[in-house]
Structure 1
Amino acid sequence: MSSKDIALKDIFEEVPYRFSKLLSPKPIKELLPTNLPSTELRVDFLAKLQDESILHMEFQSFNDPTMPWRMLRYYTLIAEKYQTHNIKQLLVYVGNKKLRMKSKLKLKNLTFSYEVLDIRQIDCKLFLESSDPMDILLACLCKVEDEDYLIYRIIKTMEGMSEEERKEYFLKALTLTELRPNLRIRFTEEVRHMPIVVRPEDIKLPKKELKKDILYRLGLEEGKQIGLEEGLLRSAQEMVLTLIEGRLGYVPEGVSDKIRSVKDREFLRALAKRLVVAEDVLKVLKEELGI
């Protein structure tokens, strides 16, 4: 499981108030266990509403062509467990690439459908004034028009926390903003002087997956305690490569080595901004990198 998925599950276990209120058709009466009977399957969010119907939500960070089958499997298991067909299913897409997942299955003897929501359709202003710290984090994934104010609200929220709470909140924010590369670069630049130190054991991932994780790329090494400042350059390099791959679907030959040889963070930040809006990504790379 990726660090993004872990962070999402942690956040939604705490039921951000405004998000659940926004997406739920009725007030939530109680949270239900997320494990499903006779299987090892778990759903991301399950609740009973005031009208006794069931709300099931899944949060997906990439396009999965098997999603309709997964949602059907979840539906039948939920219906079996609670002996009801009054179930509302919602797939919330939080990824950075274009949403391409289908919302229905149409077979010879079965038609099945559920709702799909791209979280980028939601205005982040709906969450920014919430008193719930998790709502502020969710704003990172929504439609953002004022990045400066969003980052200000995240930092302001951390100021009132204990050292351990602040570190945990920071880890979640950093991981979630990996889904929004340009925002993440801005965020790491703004918080680089905050007294936050993370260690490899802070990242709840198997060792094999740790080296692929964003926090490891920030400069964490096993047995070594490193602050944020040392990892900013590597972070900027990786975010530019992520943007290139997101826009083109691949990283052209030689570009990876070229980007990792750049030692100027301001140049990388300016390049990232150009790549986000560029109509011709290859042209930008040729102009800026001489490739």
Structure 2
Amino acid sequence: MYDNTCKFLVENFPTDFATWLLGKPIELAKLEPSELASDPIRADSVILLESTEIIVHLEFQTKTDDTMTYRMANYWLRLYGKYPNREIHQTVIYLKPTNSPLAYQTSFNSTKLNHEFNVIRLWEQPTETFQQYQGLLPLAVLTKTTNPEATLRDITKLIDKIEDKKVKSDVAAATSIISGLALNKEIVQRLLRSEIMKESVIYQEILLEGLAEGEAKGLAKGLAKGEVKGKAEATNQIAINMLRSNISQEIIAQVTGLSLKQIQKLQKLSEKQVQPAKSPRRSQKKLIADK
């Protein structure tokens, strides 16, 4: 969830991140990790941006990884092999405070290869920097602040000033998700209004991901108990809940495995369930009138 949110921010606000990381507002475009090589890489965590002169490789981490130094060297070699004439700028950004020495490693060293890269520990970064750019606002709560709740309150005021409705929605949704690393859910929900976020792409993706995850857990539990009937009923109920959330039938079909015809039947069933039952007294009056 945090990887996808950070990737969303970088890809939608590349100039803000370039200004922060490179010191100048370079225009950067998304570069697909699949273009590096035929060998698989961890595309879920790799963020690549490019211009005519530079390749920016970013990785956001909520916890340390003892393979990180090797991975950065490996990705640099792949990038260099494909783009030998461009500068390659690599940065690992740690989101949560840690005392692990791994968060302070900035190089890969072996008998034949020595490679250096940049490391940023957000909790050491000045909060003021992140209040200057819309794309960095969601990360502000994780910076060097003595009061994360007060910082989030300041950020919400800055978000309210964003005139573009879509940008405001996206920044608010990303702030809500990332702030969960530093604050409890109740505080975040109290300070950030959910109606602002509902039109955000990242908010909708997280919502759908949560529905799919909940469905997977429910089905797994049913299968473990051998309840085939229960599995079908659980699947139908999930589909009905998604219909009531105005999720398209095509997406419901992908998530549940049901056919569109089955989903349409469930929709009719759901509509019947929400219709108010007729009052017996009213029905009796009608019968008397008919007589």
Question: Counterpart amino acid of 1:127?
Answer: F
Q: Residue 205 of structure 1 aligns with which residue?
A: 209
Given the alignment of the two structures, is residue 112 of structure 1 paired with residue 115 of structure 2, yes or no?
yes
Question: Counterpart amino acid of 2:142?
Answer: L
Question: Counterpart amino acid of 1:110?
Answer: L
**Which secondary structure does the structure 1 equivalent of 2:119 belong to?**
strand
Q: Residue 257 of structure 2 aligns with which residue?
A: none
Given the alignment of the two structures, is residue 170 of structure 1 paired with residue 175 of structure 2, yes or no?
no
Given the alignment of the two structures, is residue 6 of structure 1 paired with residue 4 of structure 2, yes or no?
yes
Distance 2:76 2:214 in 1: 33
Distance 2:25 2:134 in 1: 21
Distance 1:200 1:32 in 2: 22
Q: Residue 288 of structure 2 aligns with which residue?
A: none
* Structure 2 gaps, min length 5: 217-237, 246-291
Cα RMSD (Å): 3.5
- Give the TM-score normalised by structure 2: 0.58
Change (3 A) 1:12 1:98: farther
Q: Residue 20 of structure 1 aligns with which residue?
A: 18
Question: Counterpart amino acid of 2:115?
Answer: F
Q: Residue 38 of structure 1 aligns with which residue?
A: 37
% same residue? 21
Change (3 A) 1:33 1:162: closer
Distance 1:19 1:62 in 2: 21
Question: Counterpart amino acid of 1:123?
Answer: P
**Which secondary structure does the structure 1 equivalent of 2:36 belong to?**
coil
1:91-116 deviations in Å (ceiling 9; x for gaps): 11112434542322222222222121
Distance 2:24 2:204 in 1: 41
- Give the TM-score normalised by structure 1: 0.58
Contact 1:45 1:57 in 2 (8 A): yes
Q: Residue 144 of structure 1 aligns with which residue?
A: 145
1:160-203 deviations in Å (ceiling 9; x for gaps): 56777655443322210122135x553323336x6468698652
Equivalenced residues, count: 209
Q: Residue 92 of structure 2 aligns with which residue?
A: 91
| Greater radius of gyration (CA) | 2
1:53-93 deviations in Å (ceiling 9; x for gaps): 43322222221111112112211111011124742321111
Contact 1:91 1:115 in 2 (8 A): yes
1:209-229 deviations in Å (ceiling 9; x for gaps): 4589xxxxxxxx85466xxxx
